[in-house]
Amino acid sequence: MKEQFVAYIKDLQNTITSKIEAIDGGATFKQDLWERPQGGGGRTRVIENGNVFEKGGVNTSEVFGELPESMQAYFGVKEANFFACGLSLVLHPLNPMVPTVHANWRYFEMYNKQGVLIDQWFGGGQDLTPYYLFEKDAKHFHQACKAACDIHDPLFYPKYKARCDEYFYNPHREEGRGIGGLFFDYCKKSTKMQIKDWYNFVTQVGDSFLDAYTPIVEKRKELQYTPEQKDWQEIRRGRYVEFNLVHDKGTLFGLKTNGRIESILMSLPPSVQWRYDHQPEPGSEEEKLITVLKNPVNWA
């Protein structure tokens, strides 16, 4: 399974980066191959200062070795080894009318000291973080997520949409990071789903990503915007940074397993503002966004 999923994410990385370069029409991805001293490595691809994308990364990694003590305590095991692989992406557009997007699809195996597989699971999802709310875009993104889920189980979309709203939440701000999408984790073998079934589901979601996101980019990338709207985008990016550094499990896992810091922090936007006690104008488009972030909507 791990060889099959590694092949899938590398192929998907090629597909996504080619499409994003075509949309941008200016910048191309810089590739950075790296190795982890304790085992494994990855293929980081970063785009910067493009016509459409101010910064973005589409990264694959496969790392393995002894599970650090901090992670042993987290998983409730002792002296275990692990293998983890995945594709993680974040795209920060230049135009504040285009939403930021994040996605991640990953696979994890755990072994005892004799090398026997003792656990395995999939996780991942994709979510949208707009700066200005276009309801048609929100519905399109969520409908694409729902369509991918419905092929496998009609209960998946409402279940994983709710988990996404719960996970990507900044409790210290009492608001969501964005308008959600899908979030699933610890997708293990059960009486209903074999590990191969989970592979089929996760790859279905991965294959849906470009259809979910790129039509929105194409529709909004040429819209005019003001300096004040760019300021708002950068203020909202500050909330994005807060979530990633304080709450995100992927960031914490990478840091605790001695991951490559440049690849882990690739998700952070290039220009951000923190203004003291900034509040949007009553009745404004900015306030409309905040209202939705505090009260999640069933878009699909």
> Would you name the residues annotated as active-site residues?
102
Question: Which residue shows structure tokens 């709450």?
Answer: 247
For residue 40, the tally of other CB atoms under 10 A from its CB is 18
30 contacts: CB under 8 Å, gap ≥ 6: 45, 46, 47, 48
On whether the CB atoms of residues 104 and 125 are closer than 8 A, the answer is yes
**At 48, is the secondary structure helix, strand, or coil?**
strand
For residue 206, the tally of other CB atoms under 10 A from its CB is 22
**At 40, is the secondary structure helix, strand, or coil?**
strand
- Tokens linked to 238: 């500050």
103, with CB counted inside 10 A (0-12, 13-18, 19+), is: buried
For residue 291, the tally of other CB atoms under 10 A from its CB is 13
On whether the CB atoms of residues 130 and 137 are closer than 8 A, the answer is yes
Residue 225 φ/ψ, nearest 5 degrees: -150, 160
Q: Which of 267, 282, 277, 285 is nearest to 228 (CA)?
A: 285
d(CA 45, CA 29): 6
d(CA 146, CA 151): 9
Give kind and range of the element (H or E) at residue 234: helix 227-246
d(CA 298, CA 103): 20
On whether the CB atoms of residues 64 and 40 are closer than 8 A, the answer is yes
